[in-house]
Amino acid sequence: MPEVAPRIRRLGDDIVNSYLVEDGGEVTIVDAGVPAYWGLLPAELAAMGRTLDDVRSVVLTHGHSDHIGFAERARRYGLPIRIHELDAALARGEVPNPAKGFGPTRITSLLSFLVWSARKGALRNQPILEVATFGDGATLDVPGAPVVIHVPGHTPGSAALHFSGHDALLVGDALATYAVTTGRHGPQIAPFTADAKQALASLARLGNVEASLVLPGHGAAWRDGTASAVEAVRASAAATG
Protein backbone atom coordinates (compact mmCIF):
# COMPACT_ATOMS: atom_id res chain seq x y z
CA MET A 1 0.00 0.00 0.00
CA PRO A 2 1.34 3.46 -0.85
CA GLU A 3 0.25 4.78 2.57
CA VAL A 4 2.78 3.44 5.04
CA ALA A 5 1.54 5.48 8.00
CA PRO A 6 -0.79 8.40 8.66
CA ARG A 7 0.52 11.41 6.71
CA ILE A 8 3.26 9.35 5.01
CA ARG A 9 2.95 7.84 1.54
CA ARG A 10 5.48 5.95 -0.51
CA LEU A 11 6.33 6.16 -4.18
CA GLY A 12 7.53 2.86 -5.56
CA ASP A 13 7.10 -0.80 -4.67
CA ASP A 14 9.85 -1.55 -2.11
CA ILE A 15 12.55 -1.81 -4.78
CA VAL A 16 13.41 1.89 -4.58
CA ASN A 17 11.46 4.06 -2.15
CA SER A 18 10.62 7.75 -2.14
CA TYR A 19 8.42 9.17 0.62
CA LEU A 20 5.89 11.97 0.89
CA VAL A 21 5.60 13.36 4.42
CA GLU A 22 2.69 15.72 5.12
CA ASP A 23 2.54 18.16 8.00
CA GLY A 24 0.11 21.06 8.40
CA GLY A 25 -1.12 20.77 4.83
CA GLU A 26 2.40 20.93 3.34
CA VAL A 27 4.66 18.16 2.08
CA THR A 28 8.32 17.18 2.21
CA ILE A 29 9.54 14.63 -0.33
CA VAL A 30 12.30 12.43 1.07
CA ASP A 31 14.46 10.99 -1.72
CA ALA A 32 13.64 11.34 -5.39
CA GLY A 33 13.87 7.68 -6.34
CA VAL A 34 14.05 7.18 -10.09
CA PRO A 35 13.00 9.60 -12.86
CA ALA A 36 9.76 7.74 -13.64
CA TYR A 37 8.45 8.48 -10.14
CA TRP A 38 7.85 12.10 -11.13
CA GLY A 39 4.81 10.90 -13.05
CA LEU A 40 3.45 9.17 -9.93
CA LEU A 41 3.54 12.29 -7.79
CA PRO A 42 0.22 13.94 -8.76
CA ALA A 43 -1.88 10.88 -7.93
CA GLU A 44 -0.08 10.15 -4.66
CA LEU A 45 -0.30 13.77 -3.57
CA ALA A 46 -3.99 13.82 -4.48
CA ALA A 47 -4.50 10.79 -2.23
CA MET A 48 -3.20 13.00 0.60
CA GLY A 49 -5.47 15.85 -0.46
CA ARG A 50 -2.46 17.78 -1.71
CA THR A 51 -0.88 18.92 -5.01
CA LEU A 52 2.62 19.75 -6.20
CA ASP A 53 1.99 23.31 -5.07
CA ASP A 54 1.91 22.02 -1.49
CA VAL A 55 5.40 20.48 -1.72
CA ARG A 56 8.02 22.66 -0.05
CA SER A 57 11.26 20.72 -0.55
CA VAL A 58 12.95 17.52 -1.67
CA VAL A 59 15.34 16.25 1.00
CA LEU A 60 17.85 13.60 -0.06
CA THR A 61 19.30 11.04 2.34
CA HIS A 62 22.35 10.70 0.08
CA GLY A 63 23.53 11.32 -3.45
CA HIS A 64 23.27 7.95 -5.20
CA SER A 65 21.57 7.85 -8.58
CA ASP A 66 18.58 5.82 -7.35
CA HIS A 67 17.81 8.52 -4.80
CA ILE A 68 18.27 11.68 -6.87
CA GLY A 69 16.02 10.41 -9.71
CA PHE A 70 13.57 13.25 -10.37
CA ALA A 71 15.35 15.83 -8.17
CA GLU A 72 16.65 17.99 -11.00
CA ARG A 73 13.20 18.05 -12.58
CA ALA A 74 11.76 19.05 -9.19
CA ARG A 75 14.41 21.79 -8.91
CA ARG A 76 13.41 23.15 -12.30
CA TYR A 77 9.81 23.11 -11.09
CA GLY A 78 10.93 25.41 -8.28
CA LEU A 79 11.51 23.08 -5.36
CA PRO A 80 14.68 23.44 -3.28
CA ILE A 81 16.79 20.28 -3.05
CA ARG A 82 18.55 19.61 0.24
CA ILE A 83 21.36 17.12 0.98
CA HIS A 84 24.13 16.62 3.50
CA GLU A 85 27.14 18.78 2.73
CA LEU A 86 29.43 15.77 2.24
CA ASP A 87 27.25 14.36 -0.56
CA ALA A 88 26.56 17.62 -2.40
CA ALA A 89 29.31 17.06 -4.98
CA LEU A 90 28.06 13.51 -5.60
CA ALA A 91 24.52 14.75 -6.22
CA ARG A 92 25.82 17.41 -8.61
CA GLY A 93 27.74 14.74 -10.56
CA GLU A 94 31.13 16.25 -9.73
CA VAL A 95 32.63 13.14 -8.11
CA PRO A 96 32.23 9.42 -8.88
CA ASN A 97 30.06 7.04 -6.91
CA PRO A 98 32.16 5.98 -3.88
CA ALA A 99 30.61 2.48 -3.75
CA LYS A 100 33.14 -0.36 -3.65
CA GLY A 101 31.49 -2.77 -6.07
CA PHE A 102 28.10 -4.44 -5.65
CA GLY A 103 28.70 -6.38 -2.45
CA PRO A 104 27.13 -9.88 -2.26
CA THR A 105 25.19 -10.65 -5.43
CA ARG A 106 22.89 -13.15 -7.07
CA ILE A 107 23.16 -12.61 -10.78
CA THR A 108 19.41 -13.01 -11.37
CA SER A 109 18.55 -10.40 -8.72
CA LEU A 110 21.17 -7.95 -9.94
CA LEU A 111 20.10 -8.28 -13.57
CA SER A 112 16.46 -7.86 -12.58
CA PHE A 113 17.31 -4.65 -10.74
CA LEU A 114 19.31 -3.30 -13.68
CA VAL A 115 16.45 -4.03 -16.08
CA TRP A 116 13.98 -2.40 -13.69
CA SER A 117 16.28 0.62 -13.36
CA ALA A 118 16.56 1.00 -17.13
CA ARG A 119 12.78 0.92 -17.51
CA LYS A 120 12.38 3.58 -14.83
CA GLY A 121 15.01 5.90 -16.33
CA ALA A 122 17.53 5.39 -13.53
CA LEU A 123 20.43 4.72 -15.90
CA ARG A 124 20.21 8.21 -17.40
CA ASN A 125 19.74 10.40 -14.34
CA GLN A 126 20.40 14.11 -14.52
CA PRO A 127 22.81 15.55 -11.96
CA ILE A 128 21.27 18.25 -9.78
CA LEU A 129 22.59 21.63 -10.85
CA GLU A 130 22.06 23.32 -7.50
CA VAL A 131 21.55 21.98 -3.99
CA ALA A 132 21.24 23.44 -0.51
CA THR A 133 23.23 21.63 2.17
CA PHE A 134 22.80 20.70 5.81
CA GLY A 135 24.96 19.21 8.53
CA ASP A 136 24.63 16.72 11.34
CA GLY A 137 22.12 17.65 14.02
CA ALA A 138 20.29 20.25 11.95
CA THR A 139 16.53 20.61 12.27
CA LEU A 140 15.39 21.27 8.73
CA ASP A 141 12.96 24.08 7.99
CA VAL A 142 10.65 21.87 5.94
CA PRO A 143 7.28 20.27 6.71
CA GLY A 144 7.71 17.78 9.55
CA ALA A 145 10.89 19.52 10.79
CA PRO A 146 13.11 16.41 10.63
CA VAL A 147 16.32 16.24 12.63
CA VAL A 148 19.38 15.16 10.65
CA ILE A 149 21.49 12.26 11.91
CA HIS A 150 24.73 11.80 9.98
CA VAL A 151 25.36 8.09 9.35
CA PRO A 152 28.39 7.86 7.03
CA GLY A 153 29.42 4.62 5.43
CA HIS A 154 27.02 4.00 2.59
CA THR A 155 28.26 7.34 1.28
CA PRO A 156 30.27 10.01 3.12
CA GLY A 157 27.17 12.17 3.53
CA SER A 158 24.52 9.56 4.21
CA ALA A 159 21.90 10.91 6.58
CA ALA A 160 18.85 9.64 8.43
CA LEU A 161 15.91 11.96 9.07
CA HIS A 162 13.94 11.75 12.31
CA PHE A 163 10.36 12.99 11.93
CA SER A 164 9.47 12.84 15.62
CA GLY A 165 5.93 14.13 15.06
CA HIS A 166 5.33 11.17 12.76
CA ASP A 167 7.12 8.65 15.02
CA ALA A 168 9.24 7.81 11.98
CA LEU A 169 12.91 7.53 11.09
CA LEU A 170 13.67 7.70 7.37
CA VAL A 171 17.07 6.05 7.03
CA GLY A 172 17.83 6.15 3.31
CA ASP A 173 20.44 3.44 2.75
CA ALA A 174 21.91 3.50 6.25
CA LEU A 175 20.18 0.13 6.31
CA ALA A 176 17.94 -1.76 3.90
CA THR A 177 15.18 -4.29 4.40
CA TYR A 178 15.61 -5.57 0.85
CA ALA A 179 18.82 -6.07 -1.10
CA VAL A 180 18.36 -5.37 -4.80
CA THR A 181 21.54 -7.32 -5.59
CA THR A 182 20.58 -10.57 -3.81
CA GLY A 183 16.81 -10.48 -3.30
CA ARG A 184 17.32 -10.97 0.43
CA HIS A 185 14.72 -9.48 2.79
CA GLY A 186 15.23 -8.21 6.33
CA PRO A 187 17.37 -5.47 7.93
CA GLN A 188 20.90 -5.49 6.54
CA ILE A 189 23.72 -3.29 5.30
CA ALA A 190 22.58 -1.91 1.94
CA PRO A 191 24.28 -2.92 -1.31
CA PHE A 192 26.57 -0.42 -3.06
CA THR A 193 28.00 0.71 0.29
CA ALA A 194 31.33 2.56 0.18
CA ASP A 195 32.55 1.45 3.62
CA ALA A 196 30.56 -1.40 5.20
CA LYS A 197 32.46 -1.27 8.51
CA GLN A 198 31.80 2.44 8.87
CA ALA A 199 28.15 1.95 7.90
CA LEU A 200 27.76 -0.69 10.59
CA ALA A 201 29.46 1.50 13.19
CA SER A 202 27.25 4.47 12.24
CA LEU A 203 24.15 2.53 13.27
CA ALA A 204 25.11 3.23 16.88
CA ARG A 205 23.91 6.78 16.20
CA LEU A 206 20.42 5.46 15.47
CA GLY A 207 19.92 2.89 18.22
CA ASN A 208 18.58 5.35 20.78
CA VAL A 209 16.32 7.27 18.41
CA GLU A 210 12.74 6.86 19.57
CA ALA A 211 10.75 5.95 16.47
CA SER A 212 8.38 3.03 15.99
CA LEU A 213 8.57 3.23 12.20
CA VAL A 214 11.81 2.80 10.26
CA LEU A 215 11.52 3.60 6.54
CA PRO A 216 14.43 2.48 4.34
CA GLY A 217 15.35 3.43 0.81
CA HIS A 218 14.92 -0.19 -0.28
CA GLY A 219 12.46 -2.67 1.15
CA ALA A 220 9.39 -2.72 3.32
CA ALA A 221 8.77 -0.54 6.35
CA TRP A 222 10.13 -1.87 9.64
CA ARG A 223 7.48 -1.42 12.33
CA ASP A 224 9.23 -2.75 15.41
CA GLY A 225 11.27 0.32 16.32
CA THR A 226 14.72 1.65 15.62
CA ALA A 227 16.62 -0.35 18.24
CA SER A 228 15.36 -3.70 16.93
CA ALA A 229 16.19 -2.71 13.33
CA VAL A 230 19.75 -1.86 14.33
CA GLU A 231 20.14 -5.14 16.22
CA ALA A 232 18.80 -7.08 13.26
CA VAL A 233 21.36 -5.44 10.95
CA ARG A 234 24.16 -6.28 13.37
CA ALA A 235 22.98 -9.89 13.56
CA SER A 236 22.84 -10.07 9.77
CA ALA A 237 26.36 -8.68 9.47
CA ALA A 238 27.69 -11.16 12.03
CA ALA A 239 26.01 -14.08 10.27
CA THR A 240 27.38 -13.17 6.85
CA GLY A 241 30.86 -12.29 8.06
pLDDT above 60 (res 1) = no
| Closest CA relative to residue 209, chosen from 147, 152, 153 | 147
Structural domain span for residue 56? 3-240
Output phi, psi for 155, to 5 deg. -140, 165
pLDDT digits (tens, 9 = 90+) for 21-60: 999 999 999 999 999 999 999 999 999 999 999 999 999 9
Assessment of whether the complete model's pTM goes beyond 0.85: yes
CATH of the domain at 100: 3.60.15.10
Core vs surface per residue 67-99: b (16+ CB within 10 A) or e:
bbbbbbbbbeeebebbbbbbbbbbbbbeeeebb
- pLDDT score of 101: 73
Number of domains in the chain: 1
- pLDDT score of 122: 86
| Closest CA relative to residue 205, chosen from 159, 138, 168, 173 | 159
pLDDT band at 241 (very low <50, low <70, confident <90, very high): low
